[in-house]
Amino acid sequence: MYRTWIEIDEQALVTNIKTLRSLSEGARFCAIVKANAYGHGLKEVAQIVSRVGVTAFGVDHIDDAILLRERFPSALIIVLGYTLFERFGDAVHHNIELTLYDKEGIAHAERMAASAATLLRVHLKLETGTTRQGVMSEDMLDLLLELKRCSHVQISGVSTHFANIEDTSDPQYASEQFSRFLAGIEQIRTEGFDPEHIHCACSAAVLVYPQTHQTLVRPGIALYGLWPSALVEQTVRKQNISCDLRPVLRWKTRIAQVKSVRTGTPVGYGLTVRMKQRSRVGILPVGYWDGYDRSLSGVGEVLVSGQRCPVLGRICMNMMMIDVSNVPKVEKEQPVTLIGVDGRHEISAAELAMKAQTIPYEIVSRINAILPRVVV
């Protein structure tokens, strides 16, 4: 028994994979499991998706890639984020594919692969308009000339990332990015390279822009049953696209204490709230260290016995207080739902994101990785 834990709905995850695969037939399916699988649990999610035939994973960090390699010896594993030069040897040793975008990275990859007398496969990331990682178009030729001098580095893939493809009300910028991407691929092929994996399709692109799918798709947030944006969901519904995403994550904790308090009693740090009537206050052993955002102080709600209960006062590091006055019977250690369904009510990641003035990605990915993940 846990005091705070995450439940992972295996069937929901499997259903989402099948849905996304049906929308991207012909492209290899790469499950994006960075950020501890968007807070869902890297090991748990990877095990589930592998059981339904997914053989490609995208991560941000080389350590996550190594963890996956130990479990999946033949999988395609791509590090999407930055890898320190001193860790290139790990990529060589574990057959992990790195994302590179400058001559320094290519030259170091060649040195490390040559010293091991092996081949290092890499993915070139093209800058098309997000102004993050990526080689600028004006620097592409120099980078390709550097690659031609390398006998131990192979271009396995070419990628880019969209800046605002979730804004389906105006796809112009995304279309411009995609055109730049295709132009970059053409230049790469003209110089004699033949990359196997061409990828730019994130969740939103998988759902509503089939022309972007290319040879590999890399869904992230949608894999976990969360919409990339409200606009994407509206577009899917409007276009009658067959897609029923099911949230995979449920976050629960327990009642640690219940106390009756008088009218006027202050609750929590800073005395930010005083009870307006005689009430019952429930104490929960979860706080912002666990990932429950402090900005939800006084605005968040949880579910107890199927009833919505408001968060009282400021969320603490390891505790929070809720008003359980309207719940007929509350017992010590009974479950409380922070994210998920209880009875007729649901607290979604999207709801918490709206109240915290952020996005669902942040709500789930910042749940502390130390909390137990339980597959149900």
- Could you give the CA distance from residue 124 to residue 246 in angstroms, rounded to a whole number? 33
Give CA–CA dist 206/221, Å, rounded. 11
Write out the chain's pLDDT in tens, 376 residues.
999 999 999 999 999 999 999 999 999 999 999 999 999 999 999 999 999 999 999 999 999 999 999 999 999 999 999 999 999 999 999 999 999 999 999 999 999 999 999 999 999 999 999 999 999 999 999 999 999 999 999 999 999 999 999 999 999 999 999 999 999 999 999 999 999 999 999 999 999 999 999 999 999 999 999 999 999 999 999 999 999 999 999 999 999 999 999 999 999 999 999 999 999 999 999 999 999 999 999 999 999 999 999 999 999 999 999 999 999 999 999 999 999 999 999 999 999 999 999 999 999 999 999 999 999 9
Q: What is the DSSP letter of 118?
A: S
Residues 6+ apart with CB under 8 A from 39: 6, 249, 291, 364, 365, 366, 367, 369
Top-tier CATH class for 249-347 = mainly beta
Q: Is 299 helix (H, G, I), strand (E, B) or coil?
A: coil
- 348 with 21: CB under 8 angstroms? no
Q: Which residues are catalytic?
A: 34, 269
Beta strands at 307-312 and 301-304: parallel, antiparallel or unpaired: antiparallel
What pairing do the DSSP bridges indicate for beta strands 28-29 and 216-217? parallel
Which residue spans of the chain are classified as CATH 2.40.37.10? 249-347
Closest CA to 215 of 198, 239, 238: 198
Reply yes or no on domain 10-238 having CATH 3.30.1540.10: no
143, 106 Cβ separation under 8 angstroms: yes
Report yes or no: 123 and 97 within 8 Å, Cβ to Cβ.
Answer: yes
Sort strands 197-199 and 153-159 into parallel, antiparallel or unpaired.
parallel
Sequence ranges of the chain with CATH classification 3.20.20.10: 10-238
Of 159, 59, 61, 146, the closest CA to residue 105 belongs to: 146
pTM across the whole model? 0.96
